[in-house]
Structure 1
Amino acid sequence: MSIATLNFESQYLNSNHEISIILPNKPRGINSKDFYENQKKYKVLWLLHGTYGDHTDWVRRTNIELYACEKDLIVVMPSGLNSNYSNWENSMLGFNMYDYLTEELMPLVYNWFPASDKREDNFIAGLSMGGRGTMKFAVNFPEKFAAAAVCSAAPVNIQNLTEEDLRKDDFFSRRMYGMVQNAGGLDKFKNSSENVWDILDSHAGSGRLPRLLFACGTDDKMIYDNLLVFKQHAEQIGLKAEFWKLDGYGHEWRFWDLAIQYALEFFGLENTGASPY
């Protein structure tokens, strides 16, 4: 495969921004000019990293390059910092990661690279924080993606969330507090694009949503119990989704390497016989 690293000044992030893009290889035995001028548009996977990560995570810690080569797939990996893939208008000069993906990065990739902009050719996936971002983009922009794979993340019902809950001294409460403050308060947060639980309720049975996969290790103490709660809720509201689990795996890259392989199968991407060598 070919891996491109692109550094450019982003309008929505107000800074230079770096992304990694995996591009299909020219097969051996095909003339270079014929291959690069064939005007073919490839399917695209938008692949999101987790907390503390960046655009290099998936390439360094999984075999995504090999899997993309086998599927003849473009993979786009941005850096989201610890933004939860949300707009942070009051951070520095503004770091609007939510708008950036759909309003800047997607047009860039579709027009600068041989990437298809058709819904049926676009997929989104992510792990942990990136799984939360995946859920958010999938339910708020269902017209952009054919399918979504949420790895080690789950929608949470925030309707009963209180100010007292936000003052607890733990990682999730502190993070949620920052998200609520960023949204302009608890009521605005509950009525925003962040409330994936309620948005899924409103879409259930509509046929508008992308195909949804939720993948988690059964030893993931941060996520698995929440995912079981959501799975029961999904069954109650008639939400079509696949839930995939692996025993003995926690919140870890060994699981995510297996999960992304399953996700590519779930997306319906077939092996093309292309070799990475």
Structure 2
Amino acid sequence: MAFLEVNYYSRVLGMNRVMNVLLPEESDHNPNWTNDSLKDLPVLYLLHGMSGNHFDWQRKSDIERLLRQTKLAVIMPAADLAWYTNTDYGMNYFDAISQELPRKVASLFPQISTKRKKHFVAGMSMGGYGAFKLAFSSSYFSYAASLSGTLISSLNYPGFLDMEKQAYWKGIFGDLDKFSGSKNDIFELAKRQSNTGIELPKLYAWVGQQDFFYGANEKAIPRLRKMGYDVSYETNPGDHEWYYWSKYIENILQWLPINYQAEKRLS
């Protein structure tokens, strides 16, 4: 598995950006992997959380080790603190990640599939919100997964706005009283998508029972199922921390429609 740090220019944001990439390659560990067999690869966009960056999954989880036997490319973009959103201060992070980035990936890595059925997205916390948002409002992703995701329908969720100053939240979402029903409300986006008649993305969510977003997830899942979404939902004892996200990312890999091969104990 090759690891690449890719610096590229984003026309949407008007600045240089960076993404980390895990890319299946020919190696002694996988003698049957050849250039001919490493084509039309499925891809997982793996999103970081608040205060994180494109290195989080690489440094804090076992994602590279878990995928050593599996033909799956992983794209880990940087979204800063922008909540995968076209911010009110004029920086269109959502467009950059939901539209421009897949085109950039297709240009730089032609061995990665461009088919929706092979495009997946997942994330933790803020990235869980981002994963569902991308799946509900773009045509690129057929599967979306959230770990401890911020699956809230109102910014008045207890303690949420206390995480940062109000000026920050206004810069991200604009008028905070108009969040519900807006382009940033994932339930509004899910409802709009469900009314289009297109094939809906399959969803997965996990949250720990001691996580402060546990209540939000408990309410979100039945709501999404009522709209017609196929949601696989798990909850176990656990908190809002990397120990659990590193553990349950493997559940996501097992859930995805890929030939996931659990790591063999190689020397």
Q: Which residue matches 1:195?
A: 185
Aligned equivalents of 2:104, 2:71: Cα separation in 1? 20
Are positions 1:227 and 2:237 aligned together?
A: no
Structure 2 gap segments, 5+ residues each: none
Matches within 5 A, 1:1-277: 1-28=1-28, 35-36=34-35, 40-88=39-87, 90=89, 94-113=90-109, 114-141=111-138, 143-158=139-154, 170-172=161-163, 174=165, 178-180=168-170, 182-186=172-176, 189-204=179-194, 206=197, 208-220=199-211, 222-247=212-237, 249-272=238-261
The structure 1 segments of at least 4 consecutive aligned residues displaced by more than 6 Å after TM superposition are 29-32, 273-277
Q: May I ask how many residue pairs the two structures share in their alignment?
A: 263
Aligned equivalents of 2:38, 2:210: Cα separation in 1? 46
Aligned equivalents of 2:51, 2:25: Cα separation in 1? 30
Residues 195-216 of structure 1, C-alpha deviations (whole Å, 9 max, x = no match): 1122323445856321001111
Aligned equivalents of 1:261, 1:139: Cα separation in 2? 23
Give the AA of the match of 1:109: V
Query: How far has the Cα of 1:112 moved from its partner?
Result: 1.3
Task: Say which SS state the counterpart of residue 120 (structure 1) adopts.
Answer: helix
Give the AA of the match of 1:266: W
Q: For the Cα contact (< 8 Å) 2:124–2:148, is it kept in 1?
A: yes
Q: Which moved more, 1:1-10 or 1:203-212?
A: 203-212
Aligned equivalents of 1:169, 1:266: Cα separation in 2? 30
Residues 146-168 of structure 1, C-alpha deviations (whole Å, 9 max, x = no match): 2110110143233xx6xxx59x9
Q: For the Cα contact (< 8 Å) 2:48–2:126, is it kept in 1?
A: yes
- Pairwise CA RMSD of aligned residues? 3.0
Structure 1 gap segments, 5+ residues each: none
Largest Rg, 1 or 2: 1
Task: Say which SS state the counterpart of residue 252 (structure 2) adopts.
Answer: helix
Query: How far has the Cα of 1:99 moved from its partner?
Result: 0.5
Structure having the higher helix fraction is 1
Task: Say which SS state the counterpart of residue 59 (structure 2) adopts.
Answer: helix
Q: For the Cα contact (< 8 Å) 2:12–2:96, is it kept in 1?
A: yes
Task: Say which SS state the counterpart of residue 34 (structure 2) adopts.
Answer: helix
Q: Which moved more, 1:80-89 or 1:228-237?
A: 228-237
Aligned equivalents of 1:204, 1:25: Cα separation in 2? 38
Q: For the Cα contact (< 8 Å) 2:120–2:144, is it kept in 1?
A: yes
Distance 1:12 1:254, change over 3 A: same
Q: For the Cα contact (< 8 Å) 1:148–1:211, is it kept in 2?
A: yes
